[in-house]
Structure formats: C-alpha cells, structure tokens
C-alpha cells in the first residue's frame, strides 16, 4: 500500500458546515474519489483508519460527519471499545440524532459532499464511488438514486432499514440508479430481516440495476467495525475484498 496523507476539512452545506476527514495517496496526483458514509457511532479513529486503508489502495476518500448539525465530531463520549450491550445508554443518546437526519436533509448534504469532491484537486474528474456502514448503507442507497450522474459504484455493509414498507424507504429510489451496487448484509440482523432483503433484491432486479447482495453467514450487525463488540474479522476481510473488487471494476 502506498503512503497516504490525511487532513481535517470543512465542507459548506445549505444548513451549515460539515466537518470531515479527507485522505489520499501522498503523491500529489488526483485519484478516483470515494465518499464514505459513517455508521451511527460517528467519525472517529476507526473510520479514519478504514479511510486510510482505502486511500492506500489508490483512492481519495472523504468521510463527512453527517451529524454536523449537532456539533463537530466526536459528538458522543465513546469508549475506546464500544459494547452497546454493556452500555445501553450509548444508543439512548445516538437514537434521536439518527432520527433527526431525514432523507431530505441527508440528500441535501450528499449533494454538498459530492460537489466538494468535484472541486477538490485531490479527486479525479468524473463520477465517484460510495461506501457506507450501518446507517451509512442507507445513505449510500439514497445517494446513488438521488445523484445517479455523480455515482458510478456504491457499496453498503450491515445496513438496516434498506427496504421497509414506509413511503420514504431507500429501496424506492432503485428506478433512478445507474451505478453498480454491492451489499454485504449481516446475518440474523434485526434491522434488516429476510423480508427486507427480499424486497431490496426484487426492487434492484426489476429496475435493471447491476448489483449483488450477499448475506455474510455468522457476521453480526456492525461486523466491519474493529472498535466494537460486533467486530467479525472474517466478515470484515470479506467486505474489503468485495469493496476493492467493485472499485477496481469501476475505476
């Protein structure tokens, strides 16, 4: 892997300023851009480390704090090792913040992130790729459908509520997606039960979206995050293989 250079950046949005982490190969060249959508625990060392690994493979990676309306990251006082089972109050604090990020707000912000990347000298010209984790997988699906001309590939891992029966369900944007999609679902995930997996698959297939959806056997919700009790090394490494394969096919 190549040497990388990371820095904190601020991104103007219609509703304020989003703090973010930008990392890219330290060679002064422009590289294909990847917009990484965080999980519910937010922008923290674990996500910066994941972005660094991606950048080391030759990509310019932007990780915005999508909760910026509530403050700059870190927004929550998290332990070095996150075990929600031992500390249920973590989700009591995070839950209302997640709920406040409506689809409308999130997609306004996504437009700002994509526009910022389009102007960044570190990002190559042309469309970008997306990857997202937990709630970030939901943002990936919505962004791919809202900004199809800007998104060439999109991946989501252990996402929840991707295909609900509500009128704002992310899977309903399938008809406008032009990117190739990949989803690595967690096994036995209460936030994405089998009926939602089936509904997502049917929506993408009927819309003619190039995609692959896989369930990672034995991998719990949150399996990519090494600083949490949900970490599943086999699932995490499988996710890296799938994500890098998608990026190599795209760029």
| CATH fold label, 4-250 | Rossmann fold (3.40.50)
Q: What is the pTM of this model?
A: 0.97
Question: What is the C-alpha separation between 22 and 35, in angstroms, rounded?
Answer: 10
Domain ranges of the chain: 4-250
Name the pLDDT band for 80 (thresholds 50, 70, 90). confident
Segment 44-69 shows an average pLDDT of 98
Neighbours of 166 (CB within 10 A): 9
Per-residue pLDDT at 244: 98
DSSP, collapsed to helix, strand or coil, labels residue 226 as coil
Q: How far apart, in Å, are the Cα atoms of 20 and each of 69, 185, 205, 216, 230?
A: 13, 26, 34, 30, 25
Q: Which of 163, 166, 114, 104 is nearest to 137 (CA)?
A: 163
Strands 211-216 and 151-157: unpaired
Q: What would the pLDDT profile of 143-166 be if each residue is shown by its tens digit?
A: 999 999 999 999 999 999 999 999
Residue labelled with tokens 């990936």: 140
Helix axes 135-146, 103-119, angle to 10 degrees: 70
Q: What percentage of the chain carries pLDDT values higher than 70?
A: 100
* pLDDT tops 80 at residue 85: no
Alpha helices of the chain — where are they, by DSSP H?
45-56, 89-100, 103-119, 135-146, 194-206, 233-250
Taking residues 171-195, what's their average pLDDT? 97
Six token digits for residue 236 = 């995490």
- Spatial CA neighbour of 48 closest among 75, 76, 21: 21
Closest of 32, 82, 26 to residue 56, by C-alpha: 26
pLDDT in tens, 3-55: 999 999 999 999 999 999 999 999 999 999 999 999 999 999 999 999 999 99
Q: Which of 170, 30, 53 is nearest to 21 (CA)?
A: 53
- The reported pLDDT for the residue numbered 77 is 85
The confidence score (pLDDT) of residue 147 equals: 98
Cα 246 from Cα 242, distance rounded (Å): 6
């Amino acid at each position: 892997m190549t040497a990388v250079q990371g820095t904190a950046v601020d991104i103007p949005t219609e509703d304020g300023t989003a703090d973010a982490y930008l990392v890219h190969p330290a060679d002064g060249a422009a590289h294909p851009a990847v917009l990484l959508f965080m999980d519910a625990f937010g922008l923290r060392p674990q996500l910066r480390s994941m972005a660094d690994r991606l950048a080391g493979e030759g990509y310019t990676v932007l990780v915005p704090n999508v909760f910026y309306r509530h403050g700059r990251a870190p927004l929550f006082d998290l332990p070095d090792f996150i075990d929600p089972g031992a500390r249920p109050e973590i989700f009591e604090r995070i839950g209302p913040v997640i709920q406040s990020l409506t689809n409308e707000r999130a997609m306004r912000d996504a437009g700002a992130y994509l526009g910022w990347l389009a102007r960044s000298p570190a990002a190559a010209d042309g469309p970008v790729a997306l990857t997202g984790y937990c709630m970030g997988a939901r943002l990936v699906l919505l962004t791919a459908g809202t900004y199809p001309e800007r998104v060439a590939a999109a991946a989501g891992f252990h996402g929840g509520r991707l295909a609900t029966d509500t009128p704002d369900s992310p899977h309903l944007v399938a008809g406008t997606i032009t990117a190739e999609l990949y989803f690595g679902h967690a096994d036995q995930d209460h936030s994405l039960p089998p009926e939602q997996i089936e509904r997502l698959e049917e929506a993408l297939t009927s819309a003619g979206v190039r995609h692959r959806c896989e369930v990672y056997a034995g991998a719990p919700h949150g399996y990519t995050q090494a600083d949490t009790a949900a970490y599943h090394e086999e699932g995490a490494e499988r996710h890296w293989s799938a994500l890098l394969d998608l990026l190599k096919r795209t760029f």
